[in-house]
Structure 1
Amino acid sequence: MALEQTLQAARQGDLDVLRSLHAARLLGPSLRDPLDALPVHHAARAGKLHCLRFLVEEAGLPAAASARNGATPAHDAAATGHLSCLMWLLSQGGCRVQDRDNSGATVLHLAARFGHPEVVNWLLRHGGGDPTVATDTGALPLHYAAAKGDFPSLRLLVGHHPE
């Protein structure tokens, strides 16, 4: 009951519910969904920065926790295009731009794979994203952008990796 209520509140941005659950001491790092993602993953995926910050700063959940697939909340924010959450996770939450999931993908790979040129742009210009890093199968971020047909991201990536 507390798990689903927490995950729903994190996804919907319901800070009051999260505060109530925290006051009842029902929030903790053992609160994970079936894929081992924490409420911080769900808040990052939904772009709910205020909930993400509360879960980390007030409830003490780890911002850089990995789900079963190795993804951190930063991976989820990049994959869903939530730049403000990604920026906070990288600057304040302890996530690192070079963190890899179980397939070897970084946040830059995921931003390119799911067609988020604004995230790709920020990672290349300000976030320290490396367009030359390959996944375990040899895929570069520009491969994902090309496969997606995301020409704005592809242009950005080629500009940073012209070979």
Structure 2
Amino acid sequence: MDENTCKLLVKLAQEGQLSSLEKLISLTLGGSAEVQTIGSKHFGRSGDTLLHYAARKGHLDIMEYLITRIGTDVEVYNNDYKRPLHEAASMSHQSCVSYLLREGAKVDSLKKADWTPLMMACTRRNLGVIRELMCHSADPALKNKDGWNSFHIACREGDPLVVQHLLVVTPDVWRTESKTRRTPLHTAAMHGCEEVVRILLERCGYAPGCTDSCGVTPFMDAVRNGHISVARLLLEKHQEGHTSTIKTLLELGADLHVRDKKGRTALHMACIGQHADAARTLLQLGLKDSEDACGTTAMQHARKPDVVRVFECGLPDPS
């Protein structure tokens, strides 16, 4: 088979031109044995087959032709060990995913770096494909070479519906760390996925101030990457009011006097969370108490005796 014919075969498979593809194969490859070889032929540097190209582009009719008429193996893989199911899942082609699974594709096959089709699907916000894979027993707890599972990846992408579905089907899937001890909460905070962070705080049991192998908390990840609303959410809901964290963030250039949409400062949030040490540190660093948009001072949120005492020790007042 010459180079021009190979290029044309790939082009027709990518463009979804089934009738032209059939004609070219029948004219170019006369014998049945030769026809079968086209199904296992690898093209280009990636080593993709025609089935890979069709799955990537979502051409179900060409996939059916290649599998049923040409005899292409549904588990054929390219140079990265990607199966057609990886391609269809990563590009959100649900009908192609369903067809490949019906034809016997292994739902948890591994490509290079140990990525499963479900992991590939979680890089997209397509709940239908994820449901289809999980209905065929795809395992979201499997990890790739970096220690990430599908839940990690979904938390990075930030689709609340996908994250909630994974938690419903596999309630303990959040109990995972990467090889650098990063949790899905770290991942969601780093990427500014506020709704996902909220879900994780409400439904999962992450310890306040959990750190990765470098000592970084989700709160620090959020601030370092400019996701202030996520940082406030963690401070308010997750009680990350550590004085060392505050000092580190200020050293990194965080604005001591920044306010949220309700006019609240970090001092307000420390008092709402009843964090005496954090409140004391903020006052010592020069953040004065002040009113928020509703006219409420941070001191008015103080309830615990040790928090109240912070404001009774002669430290700076609102004036």
Q: What TM-score comes out, normalization by structure 1 length?
A: 0.89
Unaligned runs of 5+ in 1: none
1:8-87 aligned within 5 A? 8-29=87-108, 31-58=109-136, 60-87=137-164
Amino acid at match of 2:182: A
Partner of 1:155 in structure 2?
232
Question: Which segment is superposed worse, 41-50 or 101-110?
Answer: 41-50
1:54-80 superposed Cα distances (whole Å, 9 cap, x missing partner):
11212x221211111111100000011
Structure 1 runs, 4 residues or longer, greater than 6 Å off: none
Alpha-carbon distance, 1:127 to partner: 3.3
Maintained 8 Å contact 2:107/2:117: no
Paired positions, count: 161
1:58-137 aligned within 5 A? 58=136, 60-93=137-170, 95-137=172-214
Amino acid at match of 1:48: N
Amino acid at match of 1:51: V
1:135-146 aligned within 5 A? 135-146=212-223
Amino acid at match of 1:54: E
User: CA 1:98–1:132 in structure 2 vs 1: closer, same or farther (change >3 Å)?
Assistant: farther
Question: Which segment is superposed worse, 89-98 or 146-155?
Answer: 89-98
Maintained 8 Å contact 1:45/1:82: no
Identity rate, percent: 23
Alpha-carbon distance, 1:113 to partner: 0.9
Maintained 8 Å contact 2:140/2:173: no
Partner of 1:6 in structure 2?
85
User: CA 1:75–1:95 in structure 2 vs 1: closer, same or farther (change >3 Å)?
Assistant: farther
Alpha-carbon distance, 1:102 to partner: 0.8
Maintained 8 Å contact 2:189/2:218: yes
Question: Which segment is superposed worse, 31-40 or 67-76?
Answer: 31-40
Amino acid at match of 1:50: G
Per chain length, whose mean CA-contact separation is higher, i.e. which structure has more relative contact order (CA < 8 Å, sep 6+)? 1
Alpha-carbon distance, 1:35 to partner: 1.5
User: CA 1:131–1:8 in structure 2 vs 1: closer, same or farther (change >3 Å)?
Assistant: farther
Q: Distance in 1 between matches of 2:172 and 2:111?
A: 20
